[in-house]
Structure 1
Amino acid sequence: MWRLDLRRVSASAWFFLLALGSSCFLVPDHSFAEDYRDLQKLYRAGDYQKCAETAVKVSQDRPADEDVWAIKIRTEMELGRYAEALTTLESGLRALPMSVRLRWLGRSVYRFNGRSDRARLMESEIGALLQQVAWRYGDLQSQLVLGEFFLSQRVDPKKVLDGIYNILKKRVPSAVEPVIACGDLALEKQDFALAAKHFEQALKMDEANPDVHFGLARAYAESEGDRASNELKATLELNPNHVPALLMIADGHIDAERYVEAGEALARVESINAKHPLAAAYRAVIAHLRNEADTERRARQLALSTWTENPQVDHLIGRKLSHKYRFAEAAACQRRALELDPTFNAARLQLAQDLLRLGQEEEGWKLARAASDDDEYNVVAHNLVALEQNLARFRTLEEDGFLLRMEAREAEIYGPRVLDLVKRAKETLAAKYHVELRQPIVIEMFPRQSDFAIRTFGLPGGAGFLGVCFGTVITANSPASQGENPSCWEATLWHEFCHVVTLSKTRNKMPRWLSEGISVYEEGVENRTWGQALTPQYRQMLLGDDFTPLSQLSGAFLHAQSPLHLQFAYYESALAVEHLVAAYGHEALVAILDDLGQGLAINDALERRCAGLEKLDREFAEFARKRAGELGPMADWSEPELPRRADEATIKTWLKDHPSNYTGLSRLAQVQMATKSWDAAIATLEKMRSLYPEDVRVYSQLATVYHEQGRNSEEFAVLKRLVELTNDDLDAFARLARLAAQSEDWKTMGDMANRWLAVNPLQPGVHRLAADVAEKLGDTKLAIGSYESLLALDPIDPAGLHLQLATVRERQGDLAAARRHALLALEETPRFAAAHERLRSIVERLRSTPAEDAPPPPPVATPLTMRRAS
């Protein structure tokens, strides 16, 4: 069977094909005829039944009208009348034997009638017609079809964009179809920003077009959820039977674990086309997540009943299971899709990502490279290949079942500290949840947020995420990626490792709220300053309409109205876990995880181990509102009725009638501090502290006031309280350490060094502080680690640091290392007298050391060996 390979078409032939789009001999459309406009209105409004009936009559009157045949076929395919569509196709081709548009539609028609061989023949015939009578196909609709055809033949998408779509936009500036085609192409390549740009342009041209609104919904789905929802709503207002939009709604409900609502959306699709393959595929996803194997099998069979080689079915099932962190099952689905169509690049790319998340990196990266080679314009594939090259420069530290990958310098500075933390987390959490971790745990820490996002999501973005766990693979932002105010990386890794434990125990079969809730809860159990604390904003949300019942918490993550609402979802989930543990015991929580691992649905597991959902929702609401009421019970939390720039006198006057209004007191304290009325500010802040003793800002402001007054002991006291409430205030850690040094409180000084290291170990100041503490406490290990970290931070005085290391190593008795550092100090500064003296002392000790204990002699100091490595 002959097939045109347009990837190998000659330059002259390609130029000729491009010339079609710019030809001045565009064949006029028949689409301006009144009857066709009526058909088009019916189709766009989703009245497919009436459209099909009308098309029958019109096609009899106008058998040579290509537009009518095309819309009749499309309507019958929408309704799932595949046999009728085949009859229409064959009749249309008899009437219009040279039509490439009908042949392009015929591919789908034949596939859904079990005739894949005929579908392939349609492609071959299009290629043959192009070689024979290319001049026939200069009209708008044929050119659009040829654009899709060339893309299916792996022609460079840029050539199609520039040679067809962009030329059509110039030749027919009023036509919205080429703009939509550009947007669809950008969506296919996962360039959502470019897609949004095209569809915004299309919206200005045809705001009543449901396909334009749907394109915008897809373009904004990953970045602007509210906008995407509004566009989806607009799509269905224009066409209530818009099947792709209904499927997208079902998709969102599945993500939020609203399976009943998802089923309702799918039922609407099935009322249009009872055998729609993607609707059946979504049914299979829901059945899989509910552990209903027979239902899943039947749904998949239905999905493949009309086109048995359809790779989209298993690809969709696998993609949704991947969203649910079922990566092993998802990978199996993508392999099935590739068995049906080895060229289906979407499945290849998704399989690559799933395998990388499973830690099966050799095959995962190989597939990512193959996907990029196959489609160099796919943004996700390109990003993954670039990331692989960046990861190749990372250093790997391996210990106790962990593979830790970090940028080389960061690994040198604090890699051992990371390993110490995750080993402690493993010992604590694995025992607590009765889990034995057999697979290696991969942890990757990225100094660039964009690399973290690509590794995690495939695309840049995700700026609010600090870390993500896929099961046995953790990705995290390093402090270097977070600017001047990094978060506590120790808390992040503890949180993510807790996911490793719970996901391993449940085999990734747990709702998001429970997974996140346990991780945040366990942060707080390990360290009071980790996790999330109740705030006045959270108090208001718990008591108001923002409170989400326990049974709906997963949806709170998907449909968060703002970053604050997303953070609140984490807090509320942790609160729900705390309630379950308090009311039913930790072992009940462990048993729920066991049940989930066996495939039991979360609602059934909760009812089995705790209580029914209705009771749990009621109990949790009472628990949450009680907790909210415990925050500042004597404070007035209402918003004060004060001018925006009220002065001190105005605020004081208002506070006479509202003495406990917390926001009013806060504004008064700010004004008093701005005017340096320190004593007045202290009185106001102390009043605030009596009303709300957990307010971090109050202690920070009091510390500032006491510092300004030179009252070191009071400042020390409030800073001590402040650091009990926060885990990332580096200024407080540094100031408290300085005050502790003045009073020779070496323990507090050491605590602050450790707290600082847990947030940003990439600052030289914290390692100098740690070295000072180590010297005071005689902690050799800490001293060595601190000096080595300082050396890795490109210091101004490396010779001095090598001397310090030589001194500590000599004191430790490691004379070989001591001698090496003394020599390195002299390499930096050959006339360094103190280093000469230290080397002399070390050599004398070496001479008195028995021969069998003596270290090997140093290398001969030649110009080559004395030069530092670049």
Structure 2
Amino acid sequence: MHCSSIRQSVSRVKRFSEVVAAAIVWFAASGTAQAADLEEATNLYRTGQYDEAAKHAAEAVGRGAATESWYALKIQSEMTRGKYSEAGASLNEATRRFPASLTLFLLGREVRRFSPQTEGEEAANNLIERIVINAPQRYGTLEGQLALGRFFLRRGADPKKVLDRFYDPLMKKEPEFADPFFAAAELALDKQDYALAAETLRQAPKHAAEDPRFHYLRALAFAQDDRAASTKTLAEALKINPRYVDALLLKADDQIDAEQYADAAKTLDQALEVNPQEPRAWAYRAVLAHLRNDAEGETRARKSALAPWAGNPEVDTLIGRKLSEKYRFAEGAAALKQAVALDPSYLPAKVQLSQTLLRLGDEAEGWKLVEEIVAKDAYNVVAFNLTTLRDRLAQFRTIEEDGIVLRMDPREAELYGARVLDLLKRAKTELSAKYGVAPPNPIVVEIFPRKQEFAVRTFGLPGADGLLGVCFGRVVTANSSASQGEHPSNGESVLWHELCHVVTLTKTHNKMPRWLSEGISVYEEGLKDPAWGSAMTPRLRSMLVGDELTPLSRLSSAFLAPKTAQHVQFAYFESALAVEFLVQKAGLPALNGLLDDLGAGKNLDDVLPTRTKMTLEQLDKEFAQFARGKAATAAPEATWEEIDLPDDADSAAVIAWLETRPKSFRGWQRLATRLVAERKWPEAKAALLKFQALFPDYVGPENAYIMLAAVHKHSADAAAEHAVLEELAQRNGDAIPAYQRLMELDEAAGDWAGVARNANRFLAVNPLVPEPYRRLARAAEHLDRRDEAITAYRALATLDDTDPAEVHFRLAKLLHQAGKRDEARREVLKSLEEAPRFLESHRLLLELVDADAVKPPPGPASPPDPRPSR
């Protein structure tokens, strides 16, 4: 039910830094005095003392005692500090001395890109290939096998074969050797298989945790599904090495996601202190400049990013990815296309571009790119998943009307596609008028009956637990009730929410903070139908009055790394309260003006004071008062003690407990529940009325309304039962048991309008079960709503086989009344096929035959059409 940020790794996971780190570790284990010196120097590098490490390496080289690992450490230290020319000179010297070194060769490609004066890549490649082919025994050691695996991956070998032939055997043979685990995790990350990367690192030896690279790789692996864990393990990496550039850049990436732009700028400054030429840091600066509408600053930062290597595709890929994650899909696609133009073989750019294009609705180009990626790399998880999804989407039914393209599973489209389309059209019309914007044309809405299909379409990967819908601008994806288990959410409220995103994102050109986007959509849900709004709960109330309330000026941070699912819910709830507060304080025109300002590229912190006539400090203070006031009025008389009684305590024990806590919400809830269970109906009714009065808005588990209804049902007081269930229905948009019982009560009372109303409430939550269609069909017949009855009976014919003869007969009768005799005849024949002796169907068939017999004769024949038939 929300727009979501898509994260990928912030750097190439097979960077040469990992290659050299592997080499350094195994040389350091050789046991000589020189190796001990190397181990000390390596630890200096690992902890961020790069200049000291380079100094030790230079001294070893100077005294003529250097092994290839000393050269590797020297080159790596120079590259990390941005001393690209020095690194190039070191590489030239090292490769002349150790021409067969795979470690130096693997370093060489990156160094040569940043140091054009170094010797050519082609010559180095030809030499090392001849050595590998003619003398493979050189690489028979554990370290040599690891280097061979990396080498063959560089040459485009099958990743699975490299894993099976090199990495897996090393991990099994030497479980205390950490580098194969790192290499395998990097390979999994490269293929976007984050779960496999996390599992591989879990099996790494304990001492791997002493290396910041271990924690950095784990942070990347967790970043997709567990942001809190990713943040925690990233902090571990920076604890070991506060100057670890890759980790600093991932931290800045997180801060940009949280809209903590000033903090991100400071983190980038730390990275640039280590390497003033670091291309990725300058690329992030370009992103920050873009987000503050600083075109000149963006151009300067991108130029600085490309200065060391003008053909570096990673720069524009990073810019394009972050802009896309900020919902600037058009700008993101433009940057990604620049990356592809610089290097058409650079797959990370193509993977990100394909997803961005699909989110823009540019499907032809997006799917074409997916095909190219799979052809080049069959192990890319995202591309493979998307290819499978494309085949599935080809089976969907497409319904197009009034600028809306709706795609659904064929069976679901048959059942309720028209209902969905009607809702989307109404939402588009009403919300576009309210916010003064012409919606995009077309709006594409795809509804998936399988959660994994929704996740792949939305994120490229399985998962997405807890999400019901996502809007990218003019493309909306959503889960149908079929994917939500036994207790689905109200699908119509979800679609209204997402169409509101379409409107506000269009108005702002996707330039709005997440809290404002989500807050408006949740706010509009509640305005459309109070039952759709976010209901106050005891937990939300305690978070509002406690210390978990996020200031309005920093609300987007609440979505970044929520501690629990409850904190996610709280972020939505608080954002909607913030929008309600802004509308009350400044009015809807001010909110619309705020969206216009954002669309013009202005900063929210600058325009909020202008539109509300309040400083940010005043807004934070008054919003906190507003939110806590809402909490206080929700249950002003209640107290919130925990119940220190056994779970099986009887009502007498609870009554005794309440004597000293007469306003306890949980106490009265427990007492009412026990009295109902004990079937003490009069006492239960009195307790429930007290419980309801304490917190009238509570509609969660064991709420007063559903238990009072049970008490009234037992007392055969249908009117009272109906009244209390109607209160619940008006407060809870997912209350299927209430809708079900209300239909029964209304039908028994002959209130067919009530039956229809509650059948439609039920269908808004779950349109895939027969009961609401059956009752809606009967109600529509009594109310003389023939078209509605026909639609309901058609759905019933698809879903219910308990009495198909009756269903087809009633449908045939309605179609005959509507003058659709051919369709009526087909339905009555289906009825007789099910029940050949069904007398009423025989009579209707005869009536249809007689009607055909008295049809007027056809007019004069038309001349043949000279056009060829299609």
TM-score by length of 2: 0.93
Deviations 1:741-790 (A, max 9, x none): 11111221111011011111110111101111112111101110011111
Quote the residue 1:535 is aligned against: 537
Q: Please list, as runs of the form range in 1=range in 2, the aligned pairs for 1:129-140 lying within 5 A after superposition.
A: 129-140=131-142
Residues 311 and 340 in structure 1, CA contact (< 8 A), matched pair in contact too: yes
Q: C-alpha displacement at 1:794, in angstroms? A: 5.5
1:530 counterpart letter in structure 2: W
Query: Is 1:806–2:818 an aligned residue pair?
Result: no
Residues 805 and 818 in structure 1, CA contact (< 8 A), matched pair in contact too: yes
Query: Is 1:692–2:695 an aligned residue pair?
Result: yes
Q: C-alpha displacement at 1:599, in angstroms? A: 0.7
Deviations 1:184-211 (A, max 9, x none): 1111111111111111112524321211
CA 136–322 in structure 1, closer or farther in 2 if over 3 Å, else same: same
Query: Is 1:123–2:125 an aligned residue pair?
Result: yes
Q: SS at the partner of 1:694? A: coil
Deviations 1:134-168 (A, max 9, x none): 22222333332322221122100011111111232
Quote the residue 1:415 is aligned against: 417
Q: SS at the partner of 1:223? A: coil
- Correspondence for 1:300 among 299, 302, 312: 302
Quote the residue 1:48 is aligned against: 50
Quote the residue 1:659 is aligned against: 662
Quote the residue 2:760 is aligned against: 754
Quote the residue 2:92 is aligned against: 90
Residues 277 and 303 in structure 1, CA contact (< 8 A), matched pair in contact too: yes
1:111 counterpart letter in structure 2: R
**Cα distance between partner residues in 1 of 2:232 and 2:859:** 77
**Cα distance between partner residues in 1 of 2:304 and 2:388:** 40
Q: C-alpha displacement at 1:120, in angstroms? A: 4.3
Quote the residue 2:627 is aligned against: 624
Query: Is 1:825–2:825 an aligned residue pair?
Result: no
Residues 94 and 104 in structure 2, CA contact (< 8 A), matched pair in contact too: yes
Quote the residue 1:185 is aligned against: 187
Q: Which moved more, 1:741-750 or 1:311-320?
A: 741-750
Q: Which moved more, 1:701-710 or 1:471-480?
A: 701-710
Q: Please list, as runs of the form range in 1=range in 2, the aligned pairs for 1:341-740 lying within 5 A after superposition.
A: 341-610=343-612, 611-696=614-699, 697-740=703-746
Residues 189 and 378 in structure 1, CA contact (< 8 A), matched pair in contact too: yes
Quote the residue 1:220 is aligned against: 222
Q: C-alpha displacement at 1:829, in angstroms? A: 4.3
Residues 30 and 67 in structure 1, CA contact (< 8 A), matched pair in contact too: no
Q: C-alpha displacement at 1:634, in angstroms? A: 1.4
Q: C-alpha displacement at 1:625, in angstroms? A: 1.3
Q: C-alpha displacement at 1:171, in angstroms? A: 4.3
Residues 107 and 122 in structure 1, CA contact (< 8 A), matched pair in contact too: no
Residues 182 and 198 in structure 1, CA contact (< 8 A), matched pair in contact too: yes
2:79 counterpart letter in structure 1: M
2:820 counterpart letter in structure 1: D
- Correspondence for 2:269 among 261, 267, 270: 267
Residues 409 and 448 in structure 2, CA contact (< 8 A), matched pair in contact too: yes
CA 836–386 in structure 1, closer or farther in 2 if over 3 Å, else same: same
**Cα distance between partner residues in 2 of 1:252 and 1:669:** 47
Residues 88 and 117 in structure 2, CA contact (< 8 A), matched pair in contact too: no
2:101 counterpart letter in structure 1: S
Q: SS at the partner of 1:136? A: helix
Residues 440 and 474 in structure 2, CA contact (< 8 A), matched pair in contact too: no
Residues 102 and 151 in structure 2, CA contact (< 8 A), matched pair in contact too: no
**Cα distance between partner residues in 1 of 2:195 and 2:394:** 29
Q: Which moved more, 1:149-158 or 1:279-288?
A: 149-158
Q: C-alpha displacement at 1:642, in angstroms? A: 4.1
Q: C-alpha displacement at 1:239, in angstroms? A: 1.3
Q: C-alpha displacement at 1:497, in angstroms? A: 0.2
Residues 338 and 348 in structure 1, CA contact (< 8 A), matched pair in contact too: yes
1:708 counterpart letter in structure 2: H
Q: Would you say how many aligned residue pairs link Structure 1 and Structure 2?
A: 830
Residues 61 and 71 in structure 2, CA contact (< 8 A), matched pair in contact too: yes
Return the structure number with greater relative CO, CA threshold 8 A, min gap 6.
2
Residues 29 and 139 in structure 1, CA contact (< 8 A), matched pair in contact too: no
Residues 536 and 698 in structure 2, CA contact (< 8 A), matched pair in contact too: no
Deviations 1:487-515 (A, max 9, x none): 11000000000000001111111100000
Quote the residue 2:799 is aligned against: 793
Q: C-alpha displacement at 1:796, in angstroms? A: 4.0
CA 503–120 in structure 1, closer or farther in 2 if over 3 Å, else same: farther
RMSD: 1.9
Q: C-alpha displacement at 1:714, in angstroms? A: 1.8
Q: C-alpha displacement at 1:844, in angstroms? A: 2.0
Deviations 1:641-683 (A, max 9, x none): 4455433223212211221111111111122122111211111
Q: SS at the partner of 2:166? A: helix
1:218 counterpart letter in structure 2: L
TM-score by length of 1: 0.93
Quote the residue 1:149 is aligned against: 151
Q: C-alpha displacement at 1:227, in angstroms? A: 2.0
Q: SS at the partner of 1:756? A: helix
Deviations 1:203-255 (A, max 9, x none): 52432121111111111112222222221111111111111111110000000
**Cα distance between partner residues in 2 of 1:62 and 1:709:** 99
Residues 64 and 95 in structure 1, CA contact (< 8 A), matched pair in contact too: no
Q: C-alpha displacement at 1:831, in angstroms? A: 4.4
Q: C-alpha displacement at 1:429, in angstroms? A: 0.3
Deviations 1:258-278 (A, max 9, x none): 001111111111110011011
Deviations 1:36-63 (A, max 9, x none): 1111111111111111111111122344
CA 31–218 in structure 1, closer or farther in 2 if over 3 Å, else same: farther
**Cα distance between partner residues in 1 of 2:690 and 2:167:** 68
Q: SS at the partner of 1:219? A: helix
**Cα distance between partner residues in 2 of 1:639 and 1:158:** 55
- Correspondence for 1:233 among 232, 235, 238: 235
Q: SS at the partner of 1:657? A: coil
- Correspondence for 1:784 among 778, 790, 803: 790
- Correspondence for 1:249 among 241, 248, 251: 251
Residues 165 and 178 in structure 1, CA contact (< 8 A), matched pair in contact too: yes
Percent identity of the aligned residues? 48
Residues 38 and 70 in structure 2, CA contact (< 8 A), matched pair in contact too: yes
Q: SS at the partner of 1:850? A: coil
Q: C-alpha displacement at 1:420, in angstroms? A: 0.5
Deviations 1:107-149 (A, max 9, x none): 1111112469823443333223222332222233333232222
Query: Is 1:39–2:45 an aligned residue pair?
Result: no
2:359 counterpart letter in structure 1: R
**Cα distance between partner residues in 1 of 2:295 and 2:28:** 54
**Cα distance between partner residues in 1 of 2:803 and 2:150:** 64
CA 794–689 in structure 1, closer or farther in 2 if over 3 Å, else same: closer
2:555 counterpart letter in structure 1: L
Quote the residue 2:781 is aligned against: 775
Q: C-alpha displacement at 1:533, in angstroms? A: 2.0
1:222 counterpart letter in structure 2: Q
CA 458–116 in structure 1, closer or farther in 2 if over 3 Å, else same: farther
Q: SS at the partner of 1:686? A: helix
**Cα distance between partner residues in 2 of 1:844 and 1:622:** 75
**Cα distance between partner residues in 2 of 1:115 and 1:381:** 37
Q: Which moved more, 1:821-830 or 1:680-689?
A: 821-830
Residues 107 and 120 in structure 1, CA contact (< 8 A), matched pair in contact too: no
**Cα distance between partner residues in 2 of 1:794 and 1:340:** 59
Query: Is 1:766–2:790 an aligned residue pair?
Result: no
Q: SS at the partner of 1:202? A: coil
Residues 750 and 770 in structure 1, CA contact (< 8 A), matched pair in contact too: yes
2:228 counterpart letter in structure 1: D
Quote the residue 1:861 is aligned against: none
Quote the residue 1:313 is aligned against: 315
**Cα distance between partner residues in 1 of 2:310 and 2:119:** 13
Q: SS at the partner of 2:82? A: coil
